[in-house]
Structure 1
Amino acid sequence: MTVTFADIQAAQTRIAGQVDRTPVRHSRRLSQLTGAEVWVKYDNLHFTGSFKERGALNRLSQLTPDERRRGVVAASAGNHAQALAYHGGRLGIPVTIVMPEGTPFTKADGTRSHGATVVIKGADFTASTQEAHRLRDEHGFVFISAFDDAGIVAGQGVCAIEFLEDAPDLDALIIPIGGGGLIAGCAIAARAMKPDIRIFGVEAAMYPSFAARRRGEAPKCGGATIAEGIAIKAVGDIPFALADPLVEDVMVCEEADFEKAVAFYATLEKTVAEGAGAGGLAALLAYPDRFRGLKVGLVLCGGNIDARMLAVVLNREMVRERRLIVYRILGDDRPGMLSAMAAVIGGLGGNIIDVVHNRLALDVPAKGAEFDIMVETRDSAHADEIGQALKDQGYALRMG
């Protein structure tokens, strides 16, 4: 099965006026940080929070009257689900979604809010897909893959048309890969519009299915990744066949890369990205030498992250930058001990966030106590300054 640039242009016409055209902006902060000239397409600003709307609406619009009446079923970790649910509701098409156990609440709740029936079944996307196929066979639903479908691929390719219309001088696009629908559609459209543009993919290290298939290897996939939107054990057959000849390289990123990218989008760009949505920036941060001096386009393809997880990621990044640090101090358990340590920390501008006393550890003297003092600092140098001041006052400490 093939998808052509004409198919993508037809999809653009088909969905026009029903899906937001998301903005493209040059990022001075990310450009300074990475050494590339960075443009970002903010697909997190779609009504349902991700790029999936284009493909979902294009595919739903191609259903026959009988198929619309019967309804559709899909397996999704959340973004495809919300897109199908929203546009299915608009078009009067019944939608059933099977989600893996552990799907973020924000994605499950968002899907239900658009009127879809949500079934939580399966330890991972593969198991959820099996359940969706069972429901298809039992109820006569039309199964709509999140990525392994020509109509989906064609719809996702509209993203690249918009991107290059708004930023025609781009040298490269970096696109996250889960099942492959987005990179396949975008690669076809981008190379048709600008034959010399370079296309790069990015996968989570826990789910490197596209990269492994390129090497002719069975992918080793599994684990709880923050990039659950691209946690796919097997890239789709249709997207892989379409994208493989057009993609220059697929970069694999670790969890810390995704966390940094989510944090930098929040702190530098003042926008919310989910782990998978931040994949392009994760690759740029992990492999800066490959893109230095190039005009690079990043598709921020989703922003549906739980508030709790976003808070965890932001705090973990503060720990990495040593702007949040724990000083563990062994001292006497006597009045005034804590206030004396606090005076040293506060005198240097440290902000004490939390204090934990441990009097029961057996390696602590019975008349002593272990103090874990969590402190907010300006930066790593400030953290060292406070630590040295505590040592100068005679406190034995370990910095976490």
Structure 2
Amino acid sequence: MTRNTDVLVVGGGATGAGIARDLALRGVEVTLVERGGLASGTSGRSHGLLHSGARYAEADEVGARECIEENRILRHIAGECIRDTGGLFVQLEGDDPGYFDAKRAACEDIGIPTETLSGEEIRAEIPDLSAGVERVMKVPDGVVYPSRLVAANAADARDHGATILTDAPVEGMRVEGGEVVAVAVGGSVDDTIEATHVVNAAGAWAGELGEMAGVDVELRPTKGVMVSVDYEGLGPVLNRARDPEDGDIVVPHDGEVVLGTTSVEVDDPDDYPQDAEEVVAMREECGKMLPAVADAEQRRVWWGVRPLYAPDEDSRGGARGISRGFFVLDHAEEGVENLTSVVGGKLTTYRQMAEATADRVCDRLGVEAACETAEKRLPGADDPEQLDRFVAAFGEAQPTDEDVVRGRADD
């Protein structure tokens, strides 16, 4: 029996779940399909950094402003889906002091709060920091628990009439008369879905989905490794104050820290080498900021794949670490009137990506309702146990935050 919906969203990461929530709150009938459990792609396999925008401030003012705006919104709406840790940009001996100064000046221009401390002052707060730390800049970074964030968005979408389908891989699309007229979905659904509009929010797999509809979504996926090790007591996120390179972020969890990350282009987001040398490099490089992590007991290792938009990467000459903006692609010019793709971006800006996509879809559908997601708090935001029940209902905790979510479930 064929299913029908106004909007079909393909992809159950943060952006897809955010789009489903946004549309449902505007009264649009929406169905979301995800081939695995929610957040099982890029969102749940990230380092979980809630960006303040400082990482991008001197290189991309627009991207940095997006980050600080969404950082503040998430602190308001997301509750226990995030952790307010603060962050440090750490200048070590041999690091270019001009880079630090330029970043601090850019943050001040943008309105990202900063405070500069000497190495002696910060080691009084965090004694385990390297003796080579010359100075640090405090910024309002934090930590995102993506399993909770995605599940809470999906739960709110469901509570407002959306249908959320996991174990539901898209197996094909039929295009006739310049529109997607049917989407074949396998797995537990094993049915055809007909939709007035289709949104491709498949992340690193958006190119494959585009091929099914005969359109070109130009991606350049890159893998990155994350390594979680035992370490108790790190308060803030650590960022190395240098041009972005491998091993320049340390993200605190309860009793653990996550070390990241690499950036290596891959051909297939489902099949790529997972090199032990990358793990060793994370320990060595992050250990230059926090020496204890170099030899700490390893808890888990995972890789994620970023859905980078190839034309944007080409325009920057493939430069590492400059803000990855997001792009909402209307495929009408390619002959498919009712298909929209959203690519690129960061976990921190998922809600803004969802709003921009939902605005485009609502314009096509003639829906005039405004976005509410920047003000309306997520369900269960102040109840970690409820958030973890949402996670269980839509799949399971993903590698980024499985220690936190499972810990709560076992209490």
> Is the shorter-chain TM-score for this pair beyond 0.5, marking a shared fold?
no
Q: Which structure ranks higher in relative contact order (CA pairs < 8 Å, sequence separation ≥ 6)?
A: 2
With normalisation by structure 1, the TM-score equals: 0.25
Higher helix share: 1
With normalisation by structure 2, the TM-score equals: 0.25
Higher strand share: 2
Bigger Rg, which one: 1
